[in-house]
Amino acid sequence: MPIRKDDGRRWVEMDVLVPGTPEQVWDAIATGAGMSAWFTPTTVEEHVGGALHFDFGGGASQRGVVTGWEPPRRLTYEEHDWSSIGSPGPLATEITVTSRSGDECVIRMVHSLFTDADDWNDELEGFEGGWPGFFEVLRLYLRDFAGQPAETVRVMAEYPGDVAGAWTRLVSALGLAGVDVGGRNEAPSATTELNGVVERIHQTRASRDVMLRLDCPGPGIAIVGAYPMGDTTRAMVCLYLYGDSATDTAAASQQEWAQWLDSTLGRDPIVSER
């Protein structure tokens, strides 16, 4: 969707239809525990003026402040230091939840900048391009795991070759080569366990990833992918684990996955702190 402009404001907006009641969807998109279950480790002070903190791992994080809090319908917040190259002002985000029949809701997310300069269009388009993959995780989370205890395992590593090379190594090692959406994957016994049903495969010239609905190493969602980062290629494995055993399973799996990715790509992994 193109960038919209009006009276010194430019914005991008995205709509996604998800399963769940407004209250379930609100918990997922407006609370720290909910966002951590499908996005990235997050804390939210649940009131106007409250602080937000998104932890992206590897020392990268983002802070913001809640500017509107209207459960279960509308959340707004601003991020002031959202760009590493400076910015014309705060990035304002509005998230609304609209109920549909049959226990479904439409989430609308709008990112706005107040500037007349076109220099920031690429930044806004980057937000628009980054959310769809996370929204797929959100849909699956709300369908199968809403409200359950959650923990995340996330490891990343640089690869000296291109995205295609990193992708080939990842899917070959995990037994995912040639698997279609709806197909079941049973990772080779010699690798770390990653067993479940393929829910999504996304491939472009720039990046590639696959999403599975897991039953092993525990109930959850896995994303395995490769993408460019500056002049390098980065590979990642992210597991969203759910249920009463999620914390223990994640603690036991974190270093194991880091070592596996190191071995598969031949580089030192970057392990995020949970």
**Residue 172 vs residues 135, 183, 224, 233, 267: alpha-carbon distances, Å:** 26, 16, 12, 18, 17
Would you state the CATH architecture of domain 4-144?
2-Layer Sandwich (3.30)
DSSP conformation class of 206: S
Instruction: Tell me the per-residue pLDDT of 57-98, one tens digit each, with 9 for 90 and over.
Output: 777 888 999 999 999 999 999 998 766 666 667 889 999 999
Cβ(135)–Cβ(19) below 8 Å: no
> Whose CA is closest to 154, among 240, 56, 238, 262?
238
**Residue 130, pLDDT score:** 73
Token couple for 168:
């080939």
Domains 4-144 and 150-271 share a fold: yes
Taking 60 as the threshold, does the pLDDT of residue 153 lie above it? Answer: yes
Query: How far apart are the C-alpha atoms of 4 and 129, rounded to whole Å?
Result: 15
**Residue 132, pLDDT score:** 87
Could you give the percent of the chain with pLDDT greater than 90? Answer: 65
Cβ(119)–Cβ(192) below 8 Å: no
Average pLDDT, the chain: 88
Mean pLDDT, range 113-138, rounded to an integer: 75
**Residue 226, pLDDT score:** 96
Taking 70 as the threshold, does the pLDDT of residue 127 lie above it? Answer: no
Better pLDDT: 92 or 122:
92
Cα 193 from chain centre: 22
Query: How far apart are the C-alpha atoms of 137 and 42, rounded to whole Å?
Result: 16
Give the domain ranges of the chain: 4-144, 150-271
Taking 70 as the threshold, does the pLDDT of residue 145 lie above it? Answer: yes
CATH of domain 150-271: 3.30.530.20
Query: How far apart are the C-alpha atoms of 154 and 149, rounded to whole Å?
Result: 17
